[in-house]
Structure 1
Amino acid sequence: MSRQPIIFCDFDGTITMSDNIITIMKKFAPPEWEELKDLILSQRISIREGVGKMFSLLPKDLKDDIKEYAIRQAEFRPGFEEFVAFTKEQNIKLLVVSGGIDFFVYRLLVPFDIERHDIYCNGSDFTGERIRITWPHPCDRYCDNDCGCCKPSILRNYDPKQYDRIVIGDSITDLQAAKIADKVISRGFLTEKCRELDLDYRAFETFYDVIGILKQRQEELV
């Protein structure tokens, strides 16, 4: 029996054209955020630690401005609407697995009719003096990377004997999941890492490319 395809798709910089966290930091955060970003990318601090510290630089008084700006500036990668339709037509399970934050991830995905339980992201708490990020999807016992939203832990919920596990992403937050995926569809930083680690990947720029790659994979697995 052939395995059922399942897609784990990143949000920031993948579904959207830019990384929404970085965009928010550039607009609202003091200069210290850039050092934290560099520490995350160089893997000198964990994603959870770095993202948490970046948002702690922002006072809660900016909440409404940040939320409005995050929604207003976001631009979707071409072909995403068609990609979502394709997965539904082909009965391919689509999970959005994001290191992004609930206040923009959920709102931006509303037009695409993706079930809320199929969207994984980090949470937010605006009750203190500073913005606090919460972590509803922590690392399981097999992961010690302190991911924040732990994509490999979510991936491991799906048996590789039953599922063909496909990761779509672009950044450091996708790397650990890419290492255990059956197939990676990548761009940017993740493509460089896939090449470096000799992972099975195909590069993309738009979701029209992704649809083509998925059609080819369906033919290969027949």
Structure 2
Amino acid sequence: MNTFSSIANHLFNPSYTQHQTPIVLCDFDGTISVKDVTDTLLSHFGQDGCDELEELWVNGKIGSQECMSKQIALMDASLDELNHALSQIKIDPTFKSFIDYTEKNHIPVHIVSDGLDYAIQFILKRHGMEHLPIFANKLMHDNNRSWRLEFPYANKNCIKQSGNCKCNHVKKQQHFNQILYVGDGTSDYCVSHNVDFVFAKDKLINYCEKNQIEHCAINGFADVTKALKQAQHALIPVMMIK
């Protein structure tokens, strides 16, 4: 019987008192990273059955937690092979400048992802940002070639049946005067209804428009930084920036 252990560092779970600044919650795959990390790893290392699971998820027959759990269990890769694939993944070139701005202005940023904690940490470390708080599914390895997932942020009442219930994370941030969200796709739909303002890319733009959600369409984090600067200089909430 294989023994699995986490290969990610201890995740930072900060404790805050009441803050006058906003907090920014960021999706990772397709938002910070240029490509979806999990899809990339599955394309490299996924065995037979991954595509069928993806189809079941797309058709709404299983939730993302069940889909990802079974897909990751079908991966065949050593840690070195996984790391090599992760080292090829690019991120938004303006994300580092965004983090520099938020840290200078004491605006907390949390990575809230339905992806893989180790993959996110590995990629951010390559860019000198491994200190950012990460809330994601826990990737487990048996020190050979087998993998599985654990879901420390799952919620049995999650509408989307996600591995990481982003809406549940939002509920824990009510001590901030504004909760801002940056995302791009399906895993960001539900949480977009529960924050003060959304910076939306790709599919999330159409979803926000269709559902009349306060948002700003962006191409990348340079647009988010610009909006935060405008709001700060005008001393008005970010939701007033269009």
Q: TM-score range with shorter-chain normalisation?
A: 0.7 to 0.9
1:85 has 2:96 as partner: no
- Measured in 2, the distance between the counterparts of 1:211 and 1:112 equals 19
1:66 has 2:82 as partner: yes
Paired residue for 2:170, among 111, 135, 155? 155
Cα 1:207–1:132 change in 2 (3 A) is: same
Q: Which amino acid aligns with 1:139?
A: N
Cα 1:187–1:83 change in 2 (3 A) is: same
Match of 2:183 in 1: 169
Matches for 1:1-222 after TM superposition, within 5 Å = 3-30=20-47, 32-59=49-76, 61-70=77-86, 72-110=87-125, 111-113=127-129, 115=131, 118-127=133-142, 130-139=146-155, 143-159=158-174, 162-218=176-232, 219=234, 220-221=236-237
- Measured in 1, the distance between the counterparts of 2:19 and 2:33 equals 32
Cα contact 1:7–1:168 (8 A) shared by 2:
yes
More helix by percentage: 1
Deviations, residues 104-148 of structure 1 (Å, cap 9, x unaligned): 1112222334535x211111222287421111111275x343211
% of aligned pairs identical?
25
Q: CA deviation at 1:155?
A: 0.8
Cα 1:85–1:66 change in 2 (3 A) is: same
Q: CA deviation at 1:24?
A: 1.1
SS at match of 2:193: helix
Q: What TM-score, normalized by structure 1, do the two folds share? A: 0.87
Q: CA deviation at 1:41?
A: 3.9
Q: What TM-score, normalized by structure 2, do the two folds share? A: 0.80
Q: Which amino acid aligns with 2:237?
A: L
- Measured in 1, the distance between the counterparts of 2:29 and 2:109 equals 16
- Measured in 1, the distance between the counterparts of 2:26 and 2:151 equals 18
- Write out the 4+ residue segments of structure 1 that deviate beyond 6 Å after TM superposition: none
Q: Which amino acid aligns with 2:66?
A: E
- Measured in 2, the distance between the counterparts of 1:214 and 1:41 equals 35
Deviations, residues 42-83 of structure 1 (Å, cap 9, x unaligned): 443211111111112113x5443123212x211011211100
Q: Which runs of 5+ in 2 are unaligned?
A: 1-17
SS at match of 2:22: strand
Q: For this pair of structures, how many residues does the alignment match? A: 217
Q: Which runs of 5+ in 1 are unaligned?
A: none
- Measured in 2, the distance between the counterparts of 1:13 and 1:140 equals 26
Cα contact 1:140–1:153 (8 A) shared by 2:
no
Cα contact 2:79–2:145 (8 A) shared by 1:
no
